[in-house]
Amino acid sequence: MGANPGLEPVRIGVVSISDRASTGVYEDKGLPALQDWLGRAVRNPITWVPRLIADERALIAQTLRELVDAEACDLVLTTGGTGPSPRDVTPEATLDVADKEMPGFGEQMRQISLRFVPTAILSRQTAVIRGKALILNLPGQPKSIAETLEGLRDAEGKSVVPGIFAAVPYCIDLIGGPYIEAVPEVCAAFRPKSAQRPPQG
C-alpha cells in the first residue's frame, strides 16, 4: 500500500513511556506497534520522530513540547502511563502542555476497550491540541493500540465501533495541519463532504 509521494508529508511523533523499557529492562513494544499501524493506515509520506522515556511527568511534558514546538510534529501519539498507579502520569503531563483538551478521544478509547475488559474504566487516556498538533494518549498494549486506533468489526468486516483514527485527519485539517489520507481498508477517515479533496494518485 505504501506512501503516495503526491501527498503532503506528515511528521508523526511517537512516544513510549515506560520506566522499565526506557532503562533496558525489557524490549519496548510500544513504538513498533504505533509505527506499524500508522504506517499501514496513512497514505502520506511519514517522517517518524520516536522517543522512549521514563514515567516522569516533567520529562513527558518536556518531550511533548519538544516534539510539537521544535520538531514540528503534526500528530503525536504516546503509549503507556495512563493507568491509576502512582507512576502513571502521562495524562497529567499531556494536560500540562495543552492549549485545548479533546476528551472525546479518551471516551471512545474506553468504549472500545470495555468490549473486552471491565477494567477499561481505569484507563485515563486523553487527547489535547497544542498549536497545530494533535497529541493522543494510547494504551500500553500493542493489541489495544491497534484496536483503539482501528475500531472493531464484525465477522463480515463491517464497523461495529469506530476507531479513534477515523476522526484524526479531519481534526488535523481543522487545526491547520496537513491533509492526511487514510487507507480505507485499515481505517476509513471521516470528513464532511465540504472538507473532502479528490484522492491523490
- From the centroid of its chain, how far is CA 149? 7
When pLDDT is cut at 50, 70 and 90, the band that residue 94 belongs to is very high
Instruction: Domains for the chain: give ranges and CATH numbers.
Output: 10-192 (3.40.980.10)
149-165 tens-digit pLDDT: 999 988 888 888 889 99
54-79 tens-digit pLDDT: 999 999 999 999 999 999 999 999 99
Query: DSSP character for 180?
Result: P
34-58 tens-digit pLDDT: 999 999 999 999 999 999 999 999 9
Find out whether 9 and 44 touch, Cβ atoms under 8 Å. yes
When pLDDT is cut at 50, 70 and 90, the band that residue 19 belongs to is confident
Q: What are the CA-CA distances from residue 167 to residues 28, 39, 104, 192 (Å)?
A: 27, 17, 10, 11
169-195 tens-digit pLDDT: 999 999 999 999 999 989 989 999 999
pLDDT at 155: 85
Question: Rounded distance, CA 36 to CA 91, Å?
Answer: 23
C-alpha cell at 14: 511517537
Find out whether 46 and 3 touch, Cβ atoms under 8 Å. yes
- Check whether 1 has a pLDDT greater than 90: no
pLDDT at 3: 60
When pLDDT is cut at 50, 70 and 90, the band that residue 20 belongs to is confident
Q: Is the dihedral of CA 48, 175, 121, 115 positive or negative?
A: negative
Mean pLDDT taken over the chain: 93
When pLDDT is cut at 50, 70 and 90, the band that residue 102 belongs to is very high
Residue 186: name the closest of 168, 200, 166 by CA. 166
